[in-house]
Amino acid sequence: MNDIDRLIINQLQTGFPICDAPYQQLASQLGLTEEMLIERLQVLLDNGTLSRFGPLYHAELMGGALTLAAVNVPVERFDEITGIINAYPEVAHNYARNHRLNMWFVVATETPEQIEQTLAAIEQQTGLTVYNMPKIKEYFVGLKLDA
């Protein structure tokens, strides 16, 4: 990653114009050419430095639902439970974490009812208690990580 990449990443965490030729507009702001900006973006996406580029939608405002859930998985069942939980298409992210509650996953569905159904199905299939931790209030989302 070079200085131009850093500049692009930092800038693109703050927003992107809505206009006919947005890459050109942004490129001229950054002192780059449109071609260079697009080429670097492609590289950063291809090599995984950027996991996504585009509009980020607010699930709940669109009628969809999200929750964070956690389970306490016995060590000897960790791979088995990972397989079960990851197999649900509603499970978007799943992380192992260093806590008694050692598996944390995000469930995203079209409706709030489907959240309950998915968590109930996971409980039934795994025999484990699923701790449902939907957000009650959002104070902040967003971050500019300095590249």
Partner 1 sequence: MLALDEIDLAIMRATQAGLSLSPQPYQVIAEQLGLTADIVMARMAVMQDSGIIRRIGAVPNHYKLGYRFNGMTVWNVPDDRIDELGVKVGQLTFVSHCYHRPRHLPDWPYNLFAMVHGKTQADVDTQIQQITELLGTDNQACDVLYSTKILKKTGFRSRS
Asked if 130 and 123 count as a contact pair (C-beta separation under 8 A), the reply is yes
Judge contact between 66 and 108, C-beta under 8 A. yes
75 contributes a contact to partner 1 by CB under 8 A:
no
State the number of binding residues for partner 1 (CB under 8 A): 75
The least distance separating partner 1 from the CB of residue 53, rounded to whole angstroms, comes to 5
Q: Residue 77, interface with partner 1 (CB under 8 A)?
A: no
Residue among 15, 143, 126 nearest 71 (CA): 126
Q: Is 134 helix (H, G, I), strand (E, B) or coil?
A: coil
One character per residue 108-127, x = contact with partner 1 (rule: CB under 8 A): x-------------------
Alpha carbons 108 and 114: distance in angstroms, whole number: 9
Cα(54)–Cα(12) distance, integer angstroms: 10
Is 74 one of the binding residues for partner 1 (CB under 8 A)? no
Contact set for partner 1, span 19-48 (CB under 8 A) = 19-24, 34, 38, 41-42, 44-45, 47-48
Per CB under 8 A, the list member of 29, 33, 58, 124 interacting with partner 1 is 58
Does 9 participate in binding partner 1 (rule CB under 8 A)?
yes
